[in-house]
Structure 1
């Protein structure tokens, strides 16, 4: 157990230090030793979360956030990880628009969620990162999704998420969609303040919630 814990810590630390080569080497070792691919992604997310914290403390810069995202994408290319995101069926259960809200460049949690949603039969329209509220409004009008997923890692994104919901209300399309929030800092109180239907701190749980939202829609 001690060796497993040590490996977990090493992976998180390597991501935090933006050591791409070491992250890939440790990730490959972990997968070959039997680590669950989604658990590995949780470790990568924790490392990226620490990068985000260092950015908020002005010890890291935007380039470092981008680098963390690139490292994450490298991990996603590992064969054992890619196998987790292979769609089981061509049948479409529902449609969701996702994006990291304005003021945040993080896409790790969003990309994991996107991949899992696609595996579970959802059509996903990904708007990317640093997405302004009007882009969400235009996408809802254009694609007519069942759900809108707002992602954010930085604590400042609570206000950006609220701006998106208010923009959807003003455009008269809020009631046509369910809204789910994603981010470790999101609480039930924050969800109610923002005006969303639900929230999650875990991508796998987010898939279950979206299926429930689709049934209740």
Structure 2
């Protein structure tokens, strides 16, 4: 097999999530890493595979169960095979640093975790604060970690209003313009995002990724 063929094979195999055998996938990843850097494996195999899975989700071929499974598999592959190799070679260049979490009062984790993996597989460094995160914690961690983006999830109408507290704290501290704030979750909308002063609303992980890249591109041009 030509070296380049293994990257294509890995991409195609991972994107057929419904028939995937994790042991076969591990062997393909190991083979790919014998010939390519972890960054190349992410860029040419895993990221495109996640994009294919995202398209299948948008088209109704895959559902939330497949997205959850894909996210879990990517996390295992990334943490077991790729992250250690990247760390050995020093800090890799990223598209930006994202602080992400589910807002205070909300313990829903699945949607936020999928977004984390999609962002990570696309070249962002992601710091996941977990669930039930107080507004002040988003700001504190963004400042401490020198983040570029604050991503906030809410799955309940009773907790979505807490997102506005994050933006209020940023304004109080005079640092609102330092961060891109993107929000997402079932009860949210474009209108809600505009109303609270967020920069963007992601209707799904891939929509959020697209908008985030556009916002960062605009910021870099300024």
Q: Normalising TM by the smaller chain, what interval?
A: 0.5 to 0.7
Among residues 183, 199, 202, which one is paired with 2:201 in the alignment? 199
Return closer, same or farther for 1:212/1:130 CA change in 2, 3 Å cut-off. Answer: same
CA distance in 1 between partners of 2:62 and 2:113 (Å): 11
How far does residue 32 in structure 1 lie from its aligned partner after superposition?
A: 1.8
Matched with 1:180 is 182
Aligned to 2:104, the other structure's residue is in SS state: coil
Matched with 1:208 is 210
Return closer, same or farther for 1:204/1:75 CA change in 2, 3 Å cut-off. Answer: closer
Q: Residue by residue, what CA displacement relative to the aligned partner does 1:10-40 show, whole Å, maximum 9, x if unpaired?
A: xxxxxxxxxxxxxxxxxxx97029xx75438
Is the contact made by 1:102 and 1:129 (CA closer than 8 Å) also made in structure 2?
yes
Q: Residue by residue, what CA displacement relative to the aligned partner does 1:149-188 show, whole Å, maximum 9, x if unpaired?
A: 0111111222110111101111222110011001122112
* TM-score using structure 2 length: 0.62
Aligned length: 160
CA distance in 2 between partners of 1:186 and 1:163 (Å): 15
- Pairing 1:162–2:149 present: no
How far does residue 84 in structure 1 lie from its aligned partner after superposition?
A: 9.7
CA distance in 1 between partners of 2:137 and 2:73 (Å): 32
Is the contact made by 1:45 and 1:109 (CA closer than 8 Å) also made in structure 2?
no
Is the contact made by 1:180 and 1:197 (CA closer than 8 Å) also made in structure 2?
yes
Matched with 1:31 is 18
Q: Which runs of 5+ in 1 are unaligned?
A: 1-28, 47-71
* TM-score using structure 1 length: 0.64
Return closer, same or farther for 1:123/1:172 CA change in 2, 3 Å cut-off. Answer: same
CA distance in 2 between partners of 1:42 and 1:207 (Å): 19
CA distance in 2 between partners of 1:167 and 1:45 (Å): 37
Return closer, same or farther for 1:76/1:214 CA change in 2, 3 Å cut-off. Answer: closer
How far does residue 125 in structure 1 lie from its aligned partner after superposition?
A: 1.1
CA distance in 2 between partners of 1:141 and 1:195 (Å): 19
Aligned to 1:180, the other structure's residue is in SS state: strand
Matched with 1:100 is 102
> Aligned Cα RMSD in Å?
3.2
CA distance in 2 between partners of 1:146 and 1:114 (Å): 15
